[in-house]
């Protein structure tokens, strides 16, 4: 299996063979992690950068009343915040969804790579900007879209991101997220997301069963949700010089 992290960064900046190689080496020590394991918890001191080479994870926070909000999904190729280790404490937790392959890059190593290879630095910054744009897009969804629109929007986002990292097979992607997790990401109850997904299925917009998502009517979904993939920056600005 190719290194999905490197592949993703390649999409953001031209990486020389040397640069790609440095990244490959930095992520060579990847560890397999079981499903539903916290990689790091709220309150912990941040450590190295996590890189998801395979499998899914999510950022979340549990409120005093026990409800959980998911703030981001990490799919293969995604990494966590670059500079996170400057902070005293994590303000949220990160947990795997599936069996995963997670590499860790110590801060000094990452710094050295970025200092030595401007292409890598550029790609990492772009990845971070996109993550930030994604957070803002979620805020828009949670604040101003109905539950049906929100669900449609999230599925389109996940599909678009999956396209970027090349994990679409025959028009379908693996979506290993149970309905409870979708509910916790979308600010709904499990009961309600269940009904919403049924609506989307019945309308013929999506196919979703046994963890396989198929967007059968993209136009309808886009129209419904007002999805504009701009925040995922599918067109990037060319590097200067």
Q: Give the residue with the Cβ less far from its own copies, 81 or 217.
A: 81
**What is the footprint of its own copies within residues 175-234 (CB under 8 A)?**
184-187, 226, 230-231, 233
Asked if 94 contacts 57 with a C-beta cutoff of 8 angstroms, the reply is yes
C-alpha to C-alpha distance for 17 and 73, rounded to whole angstroms: 30
**What is the footprint of DNA within residues 14-43 (CB under 7 A)?**
none
The token pair at 123 is 């790609």
Rounded least distance, CB 124 to its own copies, Å: 10
The enclosing H or E element of 213 equals strand 212-215
- Cβ–Cβ contacts within 10 Å for residue 51, how many? 26
Q: Give the residue with the Cβ less far from DNA, 148 or 220.
A: 148
Site string for DNA, 176-205 (x = CB under 7 A): --xxx------xxxxxx-xx-xx-------
**Region of residue 158 (left: phi > 0; alpha: psi -120 to 50; beta: else):** alpha
Closest listed residue to residue 173, CA positions, set 217, 220, 221, 206: 206
CA angle at 145 for the pair 162 and 229, rounded to the nearest 5°:
30
**Residue 164 binding partner per list DNA, its own copies, none, with a CB distance cut-off of 5 to 8 Å that depends on partner kind:** none
Rounded least distance, CB 50 to DNA, Å: 22
Positions touching its own copies (CB under 8 A) are 42-43, 45, 59, 61, 63-65, 67-69, 71-72, 81, 83-89, 91-92, 122, 125-126, 128-129, 131-133, 135-140, 142-145, 184-187, 226, 230-231, 233, 235-237
């Amino acid at each position: 299996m190719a290194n999905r992290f490197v592949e993703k960064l390649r999409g953001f900046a031209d990486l020389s063979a040397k640069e790609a190689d440095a990244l490959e080496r930095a992520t060579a020590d990847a560890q397999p992690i079981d499903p539903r394991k916290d990689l790091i918890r709220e309150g912990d001191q941040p450590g190295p950068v996590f890189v998801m080479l395979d499998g899914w994870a999510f950022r979340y926070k549990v409120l005093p009343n026990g409800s959980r909000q998911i703030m981001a999904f990490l799919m293969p190729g995604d990494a966590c915040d670059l500079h996170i280790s400057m902070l005293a404490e994590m303000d949220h937790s990160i947990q795997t969804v599936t069996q995963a392959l997670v590499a860790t890059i110590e801060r000094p190593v990452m710094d050295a790579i970025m200092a030595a290879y401007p292409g890598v630095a550029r790609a990492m910054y772009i990845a971070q900007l996109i993550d930030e744009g994604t957070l803002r897009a979620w805020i828009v969804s949670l604040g101003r879209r109905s539950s049906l629109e929100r669900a449609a929007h999230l599925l389109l986002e996940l599909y678009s991101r999956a396209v970027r990292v090349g994990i679409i097979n025959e028009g379908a992607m693996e979506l290993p997220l149970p309905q409870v997790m979708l509910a916790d990401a979308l600010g709904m109850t499990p009961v309600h997301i269940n009904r919403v997904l049924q609506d989307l299925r019945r309308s013929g917009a999506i196919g979703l069963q046994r963890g396989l998502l198929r967007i059968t009517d993209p136009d309808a979904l886009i129209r419904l949700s007002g999805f504009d993939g701009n925040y995922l920056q599918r067109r990037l600005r060319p590097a200067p010089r």
